[in-house]
């Protein structure tokens, strides 16, 4: 039997497949309905064969595709090279190299094996899995919250050779331009002419759940004057960025040959959620003239399941812009200029509250440049696009305050507080867990969701290699010692720090700085403690790392006091 679902005219639109149900028990509200059928890579610790392999998911059931292929259930698919070899790999790269029609046929074959016999007249259900209980026992793995013996571990779905991050949300680009440049010229002239992007680090891309260590780098001493230099220390302005990324599939284009818009459509394998973690203070000092570097190379988190374009086809919709103005150059003109109606959300869970609080709600429609245009532009110079390459959207922000996709925007560069239950944030603190979600849903169709993309912030690693985290035998008051406050008695900011220190019962030495006396403005007077010549300045010693810590300006000082003496 030659199996090619294109003859049914359902591999792309799925328009004939409505109200599908499965014989596999599942919650109707699951992200992973039978209309979804994502692809990922899992391992099953504790089993006789714990190596990673290719899988899919239906509800709370992870299904081992390598086991199904060994049973011969994919042998009927035309042009699928060695199904057992393809699905027993520890990445999806081999499967990604196949043409889009093969991806669609495999997905439809899985649906045929899982669909209820009475569900859809457009399909002929295959009972070989439904009636084979031993095969189910081997291939099916329960990941429900009720299962206390969950033994499924998710891995990166592909080997990512190259990673590119775009800057495709007009609202986000406008907001950032307004904050850091002239609001009247928030967008650079090239922004509406091409998808702006930069190359990132694939070595720092991790699957959801991987810990994120607060990065260190050079921090600008004077926020308004970079010429006064920098200091080394942990980022105080750690941020998330709500993004959606897609994996490239198909055979690589020959060097020197660009992809057309139609070819790009055939090369998009599927989408994942992405958190492009960012250190805004490190970014501020380093980004001129070549853009972000260390401020974005330390961690990028993606969701583990790849959602195919076939699953999302029914949710295609106009972008929030409807049309692009000015009209792009011919190679970037998309006759089917559109996006997908995917609801996106961000929640933050602090260590104190233990309950996630929604801080942002956006939509993939809020992209000015879509995935096809991004991929087409990336290849316009003849750049080779390989299967497994990852291309990200950039921060996805909408026009309303609640739809902003980063703390930079939500706190408007730290000038306003973001409520987090009983707490507030301007940027992320150690112990915060950022949880991103995304799904598409219509009446009469199963939910097509991404699961979650999460990461928890851990304290920075000192130069000595020790984590500056107290153990149970040490108290916070033991850790930070020898506090010294440089301040001016007429400075309200200095008194604000006085109050904070006294509220925490912190002993400190106050070194008076009289800003009305010229000689006391000299660096020698304050022992060179503050090249910015500002007050207040707080110094203390971290007994865990041995470092002498120095904080300037009242708000960062109080943030440190609140975090370090939170008990």
84 is in an annotated binding site: no
Pair 202, 161: CB distance under 8 Å: yes
Confirm whether 378 is a catalytic residue.
no
Q: Which residues contact 551 (CB under 8 A, 6 or more apart)?
A: 537, 538, 539, 557, 560
241 is in an annotated binding site: yes
Helix (H) or strand (E) holding 133: helix 133-139
Rounded to whole angstroms, the Cα distance separating 555 from 500 reads 11
416 is in an annotated binding site: no
DSSP 326-339: SPPPGGG--TT--E
The tokens for 51 are 């190596």
The single residue listed with the structure tokens 């028990």 is: 25
243 is in an annotated binding site: yes
181 is in an annotated binding site: yes
85 is in an annotated binding site: no
Strands 548-552 and 508-512: unpaired
Q: How far is CA 511 from the centre of its chain?
A: 45
283 is in an annotated binding site: yes
Indicate which residue of 172, 377, 378, 498 is catalytic. Answer: 172
527 is in an annotated binding site: no
Furthest-apart CA pair in the chain: how many Å? 93
Q: How far is CA 373 from the centre of its chain?
A: 21
Q: What is the DSSP letter of 113?
A: H
The tokens for 163 are 């990673």
Q: How far is CA 514 from CA 492, 552, 556, in A?
A: 14, 17, 22
The tokens for 55 are 């899988």
395 is in an annotated binding site: yes
State the binding site.
Answer: 165, 167, 181, 241, 243, 276, 283, 287, 296, 300, 395
State the binding site for Mg(2+).
Answer: 276, 296, 300
Catalytic residue numbers read 172
State the binding site for substrate.
Answer: 167, 181, 283, 287, 395
State the binding site for Ca(2+).
Answer: 165, 241, 243, 276
């Amino acid at each position: 039997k030659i199996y090619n679902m294109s003859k049914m005219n359902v591999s792309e639109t799925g328009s004939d497949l409505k109200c599908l149900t499965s014989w596999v028990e599942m919650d109707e509200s699951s992200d992973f309905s039978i209309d979804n059928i994502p692809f990922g890579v899992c391992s099953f610790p504790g089993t006789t064969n714990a190596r990673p392999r290719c899988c899919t998911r239906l509800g709370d059931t992870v299904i081992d595709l390598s086991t199904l292929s060994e049973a011969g259930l994919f042998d009927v698919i035309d042009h699928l090279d060695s199904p057992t070899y393809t699905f027993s790999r520890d990445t999806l790269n081999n499967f990604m190299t196949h043409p889009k029609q093969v991806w669609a046929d495999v997905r439809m074959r899985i649906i045929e094996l899982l669909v209820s016999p009475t569900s859809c007249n457009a399909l002929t259900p295959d009972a070989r899995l439904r009636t084979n209980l031993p095969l189910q026992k081997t291939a099916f793995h329960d990941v429900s919250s009720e299962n206390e013996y969950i033994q499924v571990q998710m891995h990166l779905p592909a080997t990512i050779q190259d990673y590119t991050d775009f800057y495709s949300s007009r609202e986000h680009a406008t907001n950032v331009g307004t904050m850091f440049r002239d609001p009247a010229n928030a967008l650079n002239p090239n922004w509406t002419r091409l998808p702006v992007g930069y190359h990132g680090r694939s070595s720092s891309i991790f699957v959801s759940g991987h810990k994120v260590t607060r990065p260190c780098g050079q921090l600008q001493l004077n926020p308004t004057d970079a010429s006064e230099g920098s200091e080394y220390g942990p980022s105080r302005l750690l941020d998330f960025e709500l993004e959606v990324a897609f994996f490239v599939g198909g055979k690589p284009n020959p060097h020197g040959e660009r992809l057309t818009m139609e070819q790009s459509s055939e090369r998009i394998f599927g989408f994942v959620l992405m958190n492009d973690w960012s250190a805004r203070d490190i970014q501020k000092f380093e980004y001129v003239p070549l853009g972000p570097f260390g401020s974005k190379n330390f961690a990028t988190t993606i969701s583990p399941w790849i959602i195919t374009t076939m699953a999302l086809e029914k949710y295609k919709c106009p972008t929030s812009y409807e049309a692009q103005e000015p009209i792009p150059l011919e190679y970037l003109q998309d006759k089917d200029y559109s996006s997908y109606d995917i609801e996106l959300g961000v929640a933050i869970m602090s260590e104190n509250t233990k309950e996630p609080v929604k801080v942002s709600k956006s939509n993939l429609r809020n992209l000015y440049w879509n995935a096809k245009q991004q991929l087409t532009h990336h290849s316009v110079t003849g750049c080779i696009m390989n299967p497994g390459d990852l291309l990200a959207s950039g921060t996805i922000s909408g026009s309303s305050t609640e739809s902003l996709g980063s703390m930079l925007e939500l706190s408007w560069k730290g000038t306003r507080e973001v409520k987090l239950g009983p707490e507030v944030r301007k940027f992320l603190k150690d112990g915060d867990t950022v949880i991103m979600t995304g799904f598409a849903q219509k009446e009469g169709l199963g939910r097509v969701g991404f699961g979650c993309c999460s990461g928890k912030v851990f304290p920075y690693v000192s130069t000595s290699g020790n984590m500056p985290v107290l153990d149970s035998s040490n108290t916070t008051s033991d850790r930070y010692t020898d506090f010294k406050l440089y301040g001016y008695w007429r400075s309200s900011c200095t008194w604000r720090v006085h109050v904070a220190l006294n509220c925490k019962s912190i002993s400190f030495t106050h070194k008076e700085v009289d800003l009305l006396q010229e000689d006391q403005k000299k660096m020698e007077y304050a022992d060179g403690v503050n090249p910015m010549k500002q007050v207040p300045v707080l110094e203390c010693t971290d007994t865990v790392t041995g470092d002498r810590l120095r904080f300037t300006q009242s708000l960062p000082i109080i943030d440190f006091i609140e975090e370090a003496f939170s008990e």
